[in-house]
Amino acid sequence: MTKALITGVTGMVGSHLADFLLSHTDWAVYGVCRWRSPLDNVEHLLDRANRKDRVFFEYADLNDAVSLIRLIDKIKPDYVFHLAAQSYPLTSFTAPLDTLETNINGTARLLEALRNARDNDPAYEPVIHVCASSEVFGKIPADKKPDSGIDEECPFHPASPYAISKVGTDLLGRYYAEAYGMTVMTTRMFTHTGPRRGDVFHESTFAKQVAMIEAGLIEPKVMVGNLKSLRTYADVRDAVRAYYMLVSIDPVPGEYYNIGGTYTCEVGETLNTLISYSSKKNEIEIVVDPARLRPIDADLQVPDCRKFKAHTGWEPEIPYEKTMHDLLDYWRERIAKGHEFLTR
């Protein structure tokens, strides 16, 4: 049976990718967990995992090379989706060293484990997806942004320790393809969201706060940061379909692709959209919280995805409005279950 390995399976993207592969392929899905990983996003898969029904959770840590070597040697995955990271840009300002260690050196440890397995078995040729980020492009002056959007050759100008770490991730993936002939592709996914999105991201904390206001848990005030940044949104379910197409449609070693949605707006419009879906929309006040402002912001995130679309035929399918509705409903459902949350 074909085997797929997902690092970061307990995150939003990893859990949706597991769902997609289980629904659209006959592959066995191996998800990498740390001992302290919360399992909320894969709770619906635990019964299948207990029955060993094409779902397996394996312990490893990007900061532990031995665990990664043992993992790869045990599973010998045909496809590797490297999604795990310290993925919160704002957090990276307060934990820069952890961010750099996990995202750069952790990626190197995983790629070394795969290279080692390949060296020991010349017939072993895994297809590897290394997930970087659109944050690598950082703060692009408006007068220098390409008219058609940010393409793959746009210079990097990272605007956070997280973005710097993803530059390293991006270059490592390309290096292992060029230096060792490994089938590694790198992606720079632009803003992607939907159910299970972490509440440290702007649109998800907006949705969570709106849902908490509706439930009477907090005052009718939504705390915000910079509302002027421009974002192009994709649905996470479209994103994971893109990742599947990346590895399954004529994978080209060393290639790198920008991937993103088609709906572009300021962060403030996203907030207004979520508020408009609320029964409390006429009561909600918007309050700027200085703690939510980054020292420097990646403020023009508009992708040019023609290269990836030409290679795979991928197109985003889920409308922006459905994505935001589903995100808000996700938080409503979690709050209705009686969970308590920080108001961050």
Tens place of pLDDT for every residue, the chain, 344 residues?
A: 999 999 999 999 999 999 999 999 999 999 999 988 899 999 999 999 999 999 999 999 999 999 999 999 999 999 999 999 998 888 899 999 999 999 999 999 999 999 999 999 999 999 999 999 999 998 777 676 677 889 999 999 998 999 999 999 999 999 999 999 999 999 999 999 999 999 989 999 999 999 999 999 999 999 999 898 889 999 999 999 999 999 999 999 999 999 999 999 999 999 999 999 999 999 999 999 888 876 666 566 889 999 999 999 999 999 999 999 999 999 999 999 987 777 76
Q: Which residues contact residue 283 at a Cβ distance below 8 angstroms, ignoring those fewer than 6 apart?
A: 213, 220
**Helix or strand holding residue 172 (H, E):** helix 161-180
Residue 58's Cβ-count burial label (10 Å; 0-12, 13-18, 19+) is middle
- Residue 198 CA to residue 204 CA, distance in Å, equals 6
Pairing, β 256-259 against β 183-189:
parallel
Fill in the DSSP letter of residue 64.
-
135/89 Cα distance (integer angstroms): 9
Grouping H, G, I as helix, E, B as strand and the rest as coil, residue 293 is: coil
Q: Facing residues of 221 across strands?
A: 285
Domains and their CATH numbers in the chain: 3-195+235-261 (3.40.50.720)
Pick left, alpha or beta for residue 196 (phi over 0 → left; psi -120 to 50 → alpha; otherwise beta): left
User: Which candidate, 196, 163, 176, places its Cα nearest to that of 86?
Assistant: 163
Neighbour count for residue 44 (Cβ, 10 Å): 11
Which of 246, 264, 270 shows the shortest CA–CA distance to 83?
Answer: 246
**Total residue length of the chain:** 344
Residue 286 pairs in a beta bridge with 222
* CA gap 159, 299 in Å, rounded: 9
Q: pTM (2 decimals)?
A: 0.95
